[in-house]
Amino acid sequence: MKQLVLRNSLYERIYRSLGLVCMVMVIVIIMTGDKDAWSFWIQIIAMLLVGLAFLSLNFGSLINRLTVEKGMLTIRWYTRPGQTAIKIHEIEEILADENSVRIILKSGRTVRLPTGMLEFDEKRAVRKFLKETTGF
């Protein structure tokens, strides 16, 4: 199994700081709120869940990951919910420019990976990884 993991450090800092703000808000609500009201507990639970989602980088979905195992290319990209699995023998060509990498399949479907927010070294690493693992 070969894997490439990329983290967008700017998004990571923004999300983590929002998570910290939510946790501070939980403390403020606890100190100033009415513990007998049901809305107090709903606010606490909601802010805790939102804070945890931000601190965990949306439960790991903001981490870019390309994995190749047994002829399958698995893509987990920050702009796509979930994962995309592509059989390597179905790839017709891979095109790359400054803003994105496009994987064109034999069926005509295009999988686009936005790379405009990544650093130059990370963009090069994505292209190199796809070239090594797919041969394109």
Question: Mind spelling out the 3-state secondary structure of 15-62?
Answer: HHHHHHHHHHHHHHHHHHCCCCCHHHHHHHHHHHHHHHHHHCCCCCCC
Mean pLDDT for 109-128 is 91
pLDDT digits (tens, 9 = 90+) for 3-58: 999 987 788 889 999 999 999 999 999 999 999 999 999 999 999 999 999 998 88
Q: Report the predicted TM-score, pTM, of the whole model to 2 decimal places.
A: 0.73
CATH, domain range 64-134? 2.30.29
Q: Which residue intervals of the chain bear CATH 2.30.29? A: 64-134
- Would you state the pLDDT for residue 102? 96
Q: Are residues 91 and 136 in contact, defined by beta-carbon separation less than 8 angstroms?
A: yes
